[in-house]
Amino acid sequence: MAETRSGSPKLPPNITSHPNARFPLPDPKEEQGKTPESGKIEAGRINGGITPDSLGAKADEEWQTLVKAFHANRRRLLRMPGVTAVDIGYKITNGSFTDTLAVRVHVERKIPDDLDMAMTAYKVHPCEFIPKKTMQEKEKKKCFKLTGGYEYIATDVIEANYKPMQDAELPRPRMVVEEPKSPDHVNRRRRLDPLVGGISIGNSVTPVGTLGALVWDNTDGSVCILSNWHVLAGDLGAEVGSPCFQPGRFDQGRSSDVVARLKRWSVDRHADAAIAELTGSRHYCAGEIISLERSISGVADPYLGMIVRKSGRSTEATWGFIDGLYFSSVIEYSGGVVQVFENQIHIAPVEPDASISDPGDSGSVWVSKDFEAVGLHFAGDLPHSAFGEYALANPMNLVVKALNFSFRPRFLEIRDEDVTSPSPFSFEHHSHNGIHPVGGLRTRLTGPGGQPDPLVIKPTG
């Protein structure tokens, strides 16, 4: 894998990043009762401050036109038989990503490339047909195309089907840990102390997932686990206080392994996310994710071509790049729960045939090269696609707004009356001049060179 000096991989050949290709993140409260098509992009402004002057008016205008074409056709495309999802992203030609941005339709199966076979398929099932470049223009017009005056917009078809990452392979054999281990040698599926991001977690319904990160609750300053709703709750009837196990039950977690209790969650078209407050039964490292060199520094907006990585229970640390935005699909969970998702992040492996996520990785946090949280992993392409494994993530900005937490510390001031006075005793230490007390303020400060400072103060507190 080609890597930069910082250790991160490069984008696939022939494509570049598009910092202007972002989406203005909707506010869940403002979006209630509002159809996606009714939302308008503010002219000359994307994502609250990125303007054509800073990124190029032409690129900005082309992106906004693409977004409008997508919104005008999204629902119609999703109703087509065989369509699993739609988004905006890099067009794939002859098995390789290109730098052309297109409205992409994801299907369970693609029509054969052979023109005769394709025409036969169209005649039998015209509503399922997606035209090929090799078809004559007059035949294309009879088939799938964008409407609303956007017929000229580039389109693409991707063969992929998406499922939540909530099942996993059988647990590994038990191991006896005799001494502390470095992060590179830790079995993420075992019972671990301290708690960090990237290890096994679960609830009484969902056997296993990934502890995404330890975060701070903005409402009371408590430290909580961040993961998916289907990892920490898993049931529409879940209640506040439901237990969360580390490791998850599938990894041999048991009743004595309750490390947190469900606190808040969001399961709607914007996010599949939850936080659970720690019980205090184990130590923790908030912001730390196993196998990542630094703790999370904040939250970043996703854009096409952004290099990201995650650390999960099953596939551990993997790299990918954001190849699609505005991803919209219907995801079916175990237990018959079906949820419509819109405006999600689509992530592809940097190298073909690479696996960037597997069952059990749900809840992982996708971070940028600057260690900013970008998305919360919740689903992937099963079975593996021709490009290895696609991943789906909730935009982290939406997750943070919905659950009201922070990756940076939140502090509570402790009142004087709540502090128990220590027992009277003195600390002493030895010096070449004998023994004298330490830990209190002297009544005279010493200045440069050890000379007495003329300012005399009295100890306080």
The total of other beta-carbon atoms located within 10 Å of residue 98's CB is 16
The total of other beta-carbon atoms located within 10 Å of residue 431's CB is 8
Alpha helices in 115-253 (DSSP H): 115-124, 137-140, 229-232
Two tokens, residue 162: 């998406």
Could you read off the pLDDT of 173-212 as tens digits, one per residue?
444 555 777 877 888 888 988 999 999 999 988 888 999 9
Contacts of 202 (CB under 8 A, 6+ apart): 208, 209, 231, 244, 245, 247, 248, 249, 250, 251, 253
Residue 192 contacts residue 186 (beta carbons within 8 Å): yes
Residue 92 contacts residue 102 (beta carbons within 8 Å): no
Q: Is the peptide bond before 247 cis (omega within 30 degrees of 0)?
A: yes
Count of all residues that appear for the chain in the document: 461
| Residue where the block lists tokens 């098995």 | 95
| CA proximity to 259, closest of 327, 302, 199, 176 | 199
Q: What is the pLDDT of residue 390?
A: 87
Could you read off the pLDDT of 246-286 as tens digits, one per residue?
999 888 888 889 999 999 999 999 999 999 999 999 999 88
Residue 165 contacts residue 360 (beta carbons within 8 Å): yes
How many Å apart are CA 97 and CA 13, to the nearest integer? 8
Q: What is the pLDDT of residue 435?
A: 52
| H helix or E strand, kind and range, residue 121 | helix 115-124
For 252-289, the DSSP string reads T--GGGEEEEEEEEEESSS-EEEEEEE-SSS-EEEEEE
Could you read off the pLDDT of 121-152 as tens digits, one per residue?
556 555 445 554 444 554 444 446 788 889 88
Could you read off the pLDDT of 11-26 as tens digits, one per residue?
988 899 999 898 774 4
How many Å apart are CA 305 and CA 308, to the nearest integer? 9
Could you read off the pLDDT of 73-82 as tens digits, one per residue?
999 888 887 7
